[in-house]
Amino acid sequence: MSNILALTFDYKGLPVDKSKTGGWIPATFVLGIELCERLSTMGIAVNLVTYLTRQMHLPSSTSANIITDFMGTAFFLCLLGGFLADSYLGRYRTVVISAIIQTMGTALLAVSTRLPSLHPQPCLDTKTNKCEPATSFQMGVLYLSLYLIALGTGGLKSSVSGFGADQFDESDEKEKATLACFFNRFFFFISTGSLLAVTALVYIQDEVNRSLAYGICSISMLIAIFTFLWVAKRYRYKRSLGSPIAHILQVIVVAIKKRKVNIPVNIDILNENLNVASRIYHTNQFRFLDKAAVIAEGDYVKNGILDCNPWKLCTVTSVEEVKVMIRLIPIWATTILFWTTYAQMLTFSIEQASTLKRSISGFQIPAASLSVFVVLAVLITLAVYDRMFIPMWKKWKGKPGLTNLQRIAAGLVLSTLGMTAAAISEVKRRSVAREVGEAPILPLSVFILVPQFLLVGAGEAFTYTGQLDFFTTQSPRGMKGLSTGLFLTTISLGFFASSFLVVVVQRITSKFGGEGWIGENINKGRLDYFYGLLATLSLMNFGMYIVCAKWYQAQMHKPSRPTNNEKCSPEQEC
């Protein structure tokens, strides 16, 4: 039996029978629950700004921050979900519990938008903006529903793709090939859920009934949960092996405890007990951490036996795993700002669209449905890259496409261009608003906003896939889950950074009176300046990213030295 299957069991806790468990049938139900999760989360986030400004009577800046905080929290909670799945619950239980929590959140949101007592009365005078603000209780119910959804989303996203991958044995060549196909279909289902959310679900919210749309989210999640549980006997389950976060803390704690210990000149005497195939060889970076692998007098117990308690003595491989994770941090930090620009597609860009002419042959396009261009840009970019660019690049350069770092760079450039296009379109929209006065709908086509959606969407296709590839392939074998969570926190922190930036910009620009750049009335603000600021920050961030990427590549090409008297390869320095 393979090492993979040795850690895998069926619903009775027995070793799996590959003919009766795993494969495409159970994996399909995993894809189904991810589609419903994406439908709910995206369908709520992409059109929530119109509900907050029109029904809850909140200012634009406050509404935008509620959405970005909600999305940021959802992705940040992926770390918690991954920790619980790795350490205690396992992926299957984490998926089920998280899906139930998310369903409760969407059901509560449907109720809150339905009951008149849970949102303010309509405005008394729309011309003078005399609107009754939402009460603390009404906002409390809204926050409770949103953060239940965020908690459920965090647990699902951290475990659902991994649980789907568990249904295939990587040591089996046939199943390994199928696993690659599974990840392609997984991303396709994510995009399908997003497409349904920004088209059908948004239309129901705006033109039929918002609470009905949220009810559809709840019902779809319930159906997905029941079908997911229905095939429980067909799944393959993997045992929890402990959280890599604990392993990182062990190295840091032991290094601090041994901070006064000298690192030996001969690194061969550092502690290592893994076989050659499993170990990571010593590197000279971050030397302080090497103290965690130094064998001191206190590390011996009775009869000269070495105490292998990882909170007292770590191996060279454990130390090197932490070093690898530290090397990822600069790339991680310089990709956060992309998601700050992406957040504008769910907030201010939707608010821009709500002020423009959106009818085609009598059909009124919901403002939030403009996000469909982001999804289409992702799908088209990936298709063109896969079917056209890769063959051409392989023929020209002899390489199978761009590296993960090059793809991230392309995404950062496209997001900078997207913010530039957004600033230009806002200049045009604002000039029309000045000409016609306080008209609810300006005589300007909403399609003027399409370039910013397409550019940011194409940037997402490169950045998301590049990040996922980079953090998965470059992380240590035992920290793949943690690195995926680390990648998802860039999305989280990007949304949080958007909220922080909005608050700071609005506070500074309104300090001396006036609306400020991001006021209650978008036509009186200077959203073009805000977009210009983001474009400038994105350009500066791209420069920092190039420096970090070059540093990372330089460190990766440095030779490492074997320990424990292992022979050097020709590329290694002895």
> Which among 156-160, 224-228, 348-352, 553-557 has the top mean pLDDT?
224-228
> What are all long-range contacts of 379-386, with beta carbons under 8 Å and residues at least 24 apart?
379/191, 380/458, 381/457, 381/458, 381/461, 381/462, 382/187, 382/461, 382/465, 385/461, 385/462
Q: Give the amino acid at 436.
A: V
What integer is the mean pLDDT of 240-265?
Answer: 84
pLDDT bin (cut points 50, 70, 90) of residue 179 is low
**Could you give the percent of the chain with pLDDT greater than 70?**
90
The pLDDT value given to residue 190:
84
The pLDDT value given to residue 242:
65
Q: Give the amino acid at 179.
A: L
Q: Residue 436 corresponds to which tokens in the numbers above? A: 């016609």
CA 31 to CA 26: how far, in whole Å? 9
CA nearest to 499, candidates 174, 65, 135, 17: 65
CA distances from 355 to 210, 364, 421, 448, 527 (A): 20, 13, 18, 12, 13
What is the rounded (10 degree) CA torsion for 485, 491, 496, 499?
A: -170
Provide the strand spans (E) within 224-323. Answer: 237-238
pLDDT tens profile 412-429: 999 999 999 999 999 998
Tell me what the pLDDT averaged over the chain comes to.
Answer: 83
CA nearest to 335, candidates 532, 470, 209: 470
Listed by start position, the domains of the chain span 1-242, 244-323, 324-564
Scanning 115-167, the segments in alpha helix (DSSP H) are 136-165
> Is the pLDDT at 278 greater than 70, yes or no?
no
> Is the pLDDT at 1 greater than 70, yes or no?
no
* Fold match, 1-242 / 324-564: yes
In words, the CATH class of domain 324-564 is mainly alpha
Do the Cβ atoms of 95 and 156 come closer than 8 Å? yes
> What are all long-range contacts of 260-268, with beta carbons under 8 Å and residues at least 24 apart?
261/291, 261/294, 261/296, 262/294, 263/287, 263/290, 263/291, 263/294, 264/294, 267/316, 267/561, 267/563, 268/563, 268/564, 268/565
pLDDT bin (cut points 50, 70, 90) of residue 507 is confident
What integer is the mean pLDDT of 279-295?
Answer: 84
Helix (H, G, I), strand (E, B) or coil at 171: coil
CA nearest to 228, candidates 12, 32, 81: 32
Per CATH, the number for 1-242 is 1.20.1250.20
CA nearest to 167, candidates 190, 153, 183: 183
The pLDDT value given to residue 543:
96
pLDDT tens profile 101-146: 999 999 999 999 898 888 888 876 555 556 787 888 989 999 999 9
Look at 195 and 469; give whichever has higher pLDDT: 195
pTM recorded for the entire structure: 0.77
* Residues sharing a CB contact under 8 Å with residue 251, sequence separation 6 or more, in sequence order: 289, 292, 314, 318, 319, 321, 322
Provide the strand spans (E) within 393-544. Answer: 442-445
Give me the phi and psi of 117, to 5 degrees please: -70, -15
pLDDT tens profile 331-354: 999 999 999 999 888 788 888 888
DSSP annotation of 364: E
pLDDT tens profile 362-399: 778 888 788 889 888 988 888 888 778 878 877 887 77
What integer is the mean pLDDT of 24-47?
Answer: 88
Helix (H, G, I), strand (E, B) or coil at 312: coil
